[in-house]
Amino acid sequence: MSSSLVPEAFSRRISEVRTAMRSREVDGLLVTHRPNIRYLTGFAGSSGCVLVSSRDIVLVTDGRYIERARIEQPWLQVELAADALADVVSRRVSSVGMRRLGFESEHMSYARAQALRTELAETHPQSELASADGIVEALRMVKDEYELGALARATALVDAALSYAVGSIVAGMTELEAAWSIERWLRENGSGSLPFPVIVASGPNSALPHAEPGERALRTGEPIVIDVGATFDGYCSDLTRTVFLGEMSPEHQDLYRTVLSAQSSVLQWLRSGVLAADADNVARTVISSTKYSGMFVHGLGHGVGLEVHEGPVLNSRSEDTLLNSMVFTVEPGIYMASFGGVRIEDTVVLRNNSAVALTQFDKNNPVIH
Amino acid sequence: MSSSLVPEAFSRRISEVRTAMRSREVDGLLVTHRPNIRYLTGFAGSSGCVLVSSRDIVLVTDGRYIERARIEQPWLQVELAADALADVVSRRVSSVGMRRLGFESEHMSYARAQALRTELAETHPQSELASADGIVEALRMVKDEYELGALARATALVDAALSYAVGSIVAGMTELEAAWSIERWLRENGSGSLPFPVIVASGPNSALPHAEPGERALRTGEPIVIDVGATFDGYCSDLTRTVFLGEMSPEHQDLYRTVLSAQSSVLQWLRSGVLAADADNVARTVISSTKYSGMFVHGLGHGVGLEVHEGPVLNSRSEDTLLNSMVFTVEPGIYMASFGGVRIEDTVVLRNNSAVALTQFDKNNPVIH
């Protein structure tokens, strides 16, 4: 729940939110999405919301968190949500004199939004509740130095976890045993709770992009997809390697080289200012020119930060532009039903106009012993 | 994701949903809350929704899950959500001829509900979207034999985890170390992912009802609150014991006996047909008659099932009636700022008109060595 970020960093973020609020023509913003609350205030409790107006910012939370928030966010006005949220918001609308209150309509239930709207209509008929989505998410896409530091720690954790994994998995171990041993290693070596369950998918299961580990035993010579995330101070990381126990057939080598070549092509091509959809296309073009055409069945990647899936979106329909200090995954994969699949994923940052991989685990020697 | 429940059990549940739909005057119900989807179909994927009409039931999910759902829920019509949810729903409204489609407004974002409403207004102006909350939740409160079996396994796991904990924690170990050792034991002994992070709160931290484990070292003679949940086949359990390393002062003994007496009073008093608010009052009255009056700062308990917090609600404002085959916690606590706190919690089932504790870990000998 604590944060080593200085209040000035939060002030800067809040100031950017206010700029966005003006362009959206709202004079208040009710922030209810937890990662957005954490980004703006450092508050990481499970219950609360933040109300930003042009002149102040208030964190509303319950009795479990209020004392802690007052200690850890002393620069923040903290109010107890003793009443329903609608009442608290209504009082703030009064005291600040808001005309048009924005809310995160993708992150508030219909029931809650309606309760709020009804309350405002009764108490402040001149005020209006308006959807104002994505304001904080847009800011979060570009990371500051503090965030890049936390992301470096989170990516170092998954690199180390992969080293542990390739040093400890053996034929006969089940996918579930391997996945748990990796989770356990992460939790005992500095990671917070994992952003997603560890994936270990072997043999035919490797052909499923979102396989869940099962009782299948790992076998020599089959692809084993290991997809791992960690958290450090709330920031996530995401890394996938595909390894082969003992040996690798020529067919698997060809498959592996194709995925690696698609990923390398993207990493070398990336520049600040390119379209995310074009990055996706670079990888897709490499794969389409091979016999694996059509087998790259998901998007190229996603932003990584306080959430393990956030903006920018890297797929063929994305309208995002990739900029310096954005952190995202580059993860092409080829999936051949029953034969198996290969995915290679790194978490990278755009810096000095080129892509720098934060995850650095070796990908040139997929055969492990 | 699999379920050992026979299709007939799901048919019965769906038939009960249809009865509730008629009384709510909706001829379709869009179920989007994950535990509700799992309850009605056995489908436990992370993405999907269920559309119940008077004549059929359709699971809509994405490419990651569709093959699996077709294998594991063969009795269910499964449709690929290749398009936006709004399009899929719109087609169903056409084919079934729905007039009034209910949705779970507490479990759907405002943005998604508005998109759905807009789509329906364009394509089926004669159809209406209506909030229809709590239909499946109401059914889920009363457990069937299959569910009681899963809950018995989940509660046996937390009992065993507590045995492990009292046998392994020692003075000097930090709260975080103790909490992780319990989580690790559970995960290595049959529990699915934990329903909430293990709480180990010692000394002054025991006075916080929702403490998070920290770097504080456990000390002799202080209250140590251990609050643990497990899952088995999706079903949760919840158990709290307060223990004392080595010794217990007369003041702590008095505090402990008061909480235990409040809990015992409730357990002996419980009958099918009583009001949950009255159960809360039984415990509160015991505590109010002592010097600890006012220090029982939360509700008495909550239902436990596919969610660790579900209906019935046991607090002073509850309107729920407790019935046979309901499973819920009974967890009075007394919290004295800086001095410490004691909470004793069991997961119980109402059966044959009396309360039977599913969690059975000893609570008469809180001093451990």
- Residue B41 burial (CB count, 10 A): 27
Residues of B with CB below 8 A from A209's CB? 64
Domain A145-368 top-level CATH class: alpha beta
CA distances from A147 to A38, A126, A339 (A): 12, 40, 40
Helices marked H in chain A: 7-24, 34-41, 66-72, 85-96, 110-123, 135-140, 145-168, 175-188, 250-269, 276-288
Residue with tokens 């055409």: A293
For residue B225, list its beta bridge partners.
Answer: B201, B242
Q: How confident is the model at residue A23 (pLDDT cuts 50, 70, 90)?
A: very high
User: In this model, does residue A126 exceed pLDDT 60?
Assistant: yes
Nearest CA among A228, A328, A334, A321 for reference residue A286: A334
Q: Are the C-beta atoms of A43 and A306 separated by less than 8 Å?
A: no
Name the residue of chain B whose CA is nearest to A113's CA.
Answer: B110
Residues of B with CB below 8 A from A108's CB? 109-110
- Burial code (b: 16+ CB inside 10 Å, e: under 16) for B42-71 equals bbbbeebbbbbbeeebbbbbeebbbebbee
Name the residue of chain B whose CA is nearest to A112's CA.
Answer: B106
Per-residue pLDDT, averaged over A214-231, amounts to 98
Query: Which strand (E) or helix (H) includes residue A242?
Result: strand A239-245
Per-residue pLDDT, averaged over A25-37, amounts to 96
pLDDT, averaged across chain B = 94
Distance CA B168, CA B159 (A): 14
With an 8 Å Cβ cutoff, is B106 touching chain A?
Answer: yes
User: In this model, does residue B2 exceed pLDDT 70?
Assistant: no
Per-residue pLDDT, averaged over B157-178, amounts to 97
pLDDT per residue over B266-317, tens digit each?
999 999 999 999 999 999 999 999 999 999 999 999 999 999 999 999 999 9
Q: Is B260 exposed, middle or buried (0-12, 13-18, 19+ CB in 10 A)?
A: middle
Residues of B with CB below 8 A from A63's CB? 297
Q: How confident is the model at residue B72 (pLDDT cuts 50, 70, 90)?
A: confident
Closest residue to B111, CB basis, from A111, A131, A188: A131
Closest residue to B133, CB basis, from A111, A188, A208: A111
Return the pLDDT at A2: 42
Per-residue pLDDT, averaged over B80-94, amounts to 79
Return the pLDDT at B109: 96
With an 8 Å Cβ cutoff, is A215 touching chain B?
Answer: no
Helices marked H in chain B: 7-24, 34-41, 63-72, 85-96, 110-123, 135-140, 145-168, 175-188, 250-269, 276-288
Closest residue to B184, CB basis, from A1, A108, A184: A184
Greater confidence (A94 vs B28) lies with: B28
Return the pLDDT at A71: 79
Decide: helix, strand or coil at residue B334.
strand
Nearest 5°: the CA angle A9, A12, A16 is: 140
Q: Are the C-beta atoms of B305 and B235 separated by less than 8 Å?
A: yes
Per-residue pLDDT, averaged over A101-123, amounts to 95
pLDDT per residue over B102-130, tens digit each?
999 999 999 999 999 999 999 999 999 99
- Minimum distance, in Å, between the CA of residue A106 and any CA atom of chain B: 5
CB pairs < 8 Å spanning A and B = 63
Helix B110-123 with A110-123: angle, nearest 10 deg = 90
| Paired tokens of B344 | 């004793």
% of chain A beyond a pLDDT of 70 = 98
Per-residue pLDDT, averaged over B319-346, amounts to 96
Return the pLDDT at B322: 98
Return the pLDDT at A1: 36
For residue A224, list its beta bridge partners.
Answer: A202, A243
pLDDT per residue over A297-322, tens digit each?
999 999 999 999 999 999 999 999 99
- Minimum distance, in Å, between the CA of residue B64 and any CA atom of chain A: 6
With an 8 Å Cβ cutoff, is A113 touching chain B?
Answer: yes
Residues of B with CB below 8 A from A106's CB? 109-112
With an 8 Å Cβ cutoff, is B357 touching chain A?
Answer: no
Nearest CA among A296, A297, A300 for reference residue A314: A300
Sign, CA torsion B84/B87/B92/B95:
negative
With an 8 Å Cβ cutoff, is A189 touching chain B?
Answer: no
How many alpha carbons fall within 13 Å on the CB side of residue A156?
9
| Paired tokens of A319 | 């309208």
Per-residue pLDDT, averaged over A20-46, amounts to 95
Nearest CA among B233, B168, B235, B239 for reference residue B198: B239
Q: Are the C-beta atoms of A139 and A147 separated by less than 8 Å?
A: no
Sign, CA torsion A61/A63/A69/A74:
positive
Residues of A with CB below 8 A from B210's CB? 64
The answer to whether the Cβ–Cβ distance between B1 and A64 falls below 8 Å is no
Substitution target in B46, B110, B184 with the highest count of A β-carbons within 10 Å is B110
Q: Are the C-beta atoms of B245 and B228 separated by less than 8 Å?
A: no
Name the residue of chain A whose CA is nearest to B116's CA.
Answer: A110
Single-letter residue type at A133: D
With an 8 Å Cβ cutoff, is B209 touching chain A?
Answer: yes
Substitution target in A30, A67, A110, A174 with the highest count of B β-carbons within 10 Å is A110
SS3 content of chain A, % helix, strand, coil (to 5): 40, 25, 40
Distance CA B70, CA A297 (A): 20
DSSP string, A289-302: TSTTTT---S-SEE
With an 8 Å Cβ cutoff, is B208 touching chain A?
Answer: yes
Name the residue of chain A whose CA is nearest to B103's CA.
Answer: A110
The answer to whether the Cβ–Cβ distance between B112 and A106 falls below 8 Å is yes
Per-residue pLDDT, averaged over B238-262, amounts to 98
With an 8 Å Cβ cutoff, is A212 touching chain B?
Answer: yes
CATH 3.40.1160.10 fits B7-140, yes or no: no
Name the residue of chain B whose CA is nearest to A181's CA.
Answer: B188
Distance CA B215, CA B177 (A): 8
- Minimum distance, in Å, between the CA of residue B134 and any CA atom of chain A: 12
pLDDT, averaged across chain A = 94
Single-letter residue type at B138: A
With an 8 Å Cβ cutoff, is B22 touching chain A?
Answer: no
Q: Show me where the domains of chain B are located.
A: 7-140, 145-368
φ/ψ of B33, rounded to 5, equals -80, 125
The answer to whether the Cβ–Cβ distance between B64 and A133 falls below 8 Å is no
User: In this model, does residue A31 exceed pLDDT 90?
Assistant: yes
pTM: 0.93
Name the residue of chain A whose CA is nearest to B67's CA.
Answer: A208
Q: How confident is the model at residue A82 (pLDDT cuts 50, 70, 90)?
A: low
Nearest CA among B190, B187, B211 for reference residue B201: B211
Q: How confident is the model at residue A102 (pLDDT cuts 50, 70, 90)?
A: very high
Decide: helix, strand or coil at residue B335.
strand
User: In this model, does residue A186 exceed pLDDT 90?
Assistant: yes
Nearest CA among A329, A119, A104 for reference residue A227: A329
The answer to whether the Cβ–Cβ distance between B187 and A180 falls below 8 Å is yes
Residue with tokens 């009363």: B142
With an 8 Å Cβ cutoff, is B171 touching chain A?
Answer: no
Residues of B with CB below 8 A from A112's CB? 106, 110
